[in-house]
Amino acid sequence: MELERRVVLWIAGVPVTTTVVSTTGMVAVLSVLAVLAGRTIRARPSRWQAVAEWGVRGVEGLLDEVVGDGRRYLPLVATLGLFILVANLMSALPAVEAPTADVNTPAALAIIVFCSVHYYGMREAGVLGYFRRFTQPVPLLLPINILSNLTRTFSLAIRLFGNMVSHQIIVAILLLILPLVVPAVLEVFGMFISVLQAYIFTVLTIVYIGGAVRAGGEL
């Protein structure tokens, strides 16, 4: 496994890596499936529709508990969760590396969360009211609160990247040692890790949004 992704082609001087290709393909497939699924929604749900509705209700329920109005933030949180879940599971495909095992992808996702959290916070409390929270309980804590927001964004990206890339490295090493025994067990374990990391990222996003939009909540 190579940590540095291979450049497939150049467009106007900009490198297009294998991560960009796999991510673009994944988004295209998900978009087509979403359009097809939207056309087959029924009042009496099929098995797959029931699973999808269960997942959406689960995310909305978490948002309701933490934020108070889950429907307002459901599109962002559910989209992030689905994107990360599918991106993580792509490592199970032959000759495909998970886009989340490229540090650029988790970093981009963490930046989206960072910007969204502060946007929602300012929309809820006003610009001055929101940034006044950074000086609570005493103004001397302003630099610490700012640093806390920056470091948690960094840790959000590194946690996802570190877990995904370490899993792929371990799988690659063990496949060289025990090529006939390990693969099936590792694939099941890898799928569990993929789902778990998507869940953790989603829950942390909900917690950060909740902290930003709750009146008097901690940032």
In a domain, 37, yes or no: yes
Band the pLDDT of 92: cuts 50, 70, 90: confident
Instruction: Tell me: pLDDT of 130 over 90.
Output: no
Number of structural domains (the chain) is 1
Domain membership flag for residue 97: yes
21 has a pLDDT exceeding 80: yes
Residue 218 is assigned to a structural domain of this protein: no
For residue 190, give both structure tokens. 């890898």
Range of the domain at 44: 7-213
User: What tokens appear for 202 in the block?
Assistant: 């989603």
pTM of the model: 0.83
Residue 35 belongs to some domain of the structure? yes
Look at residue 2 and tell me if it is in a domain.
no
Domain-located, residue 219: no
Range 66-93 average pLDDT:
88
Residue 161 belongs to some domain of the structure: yes
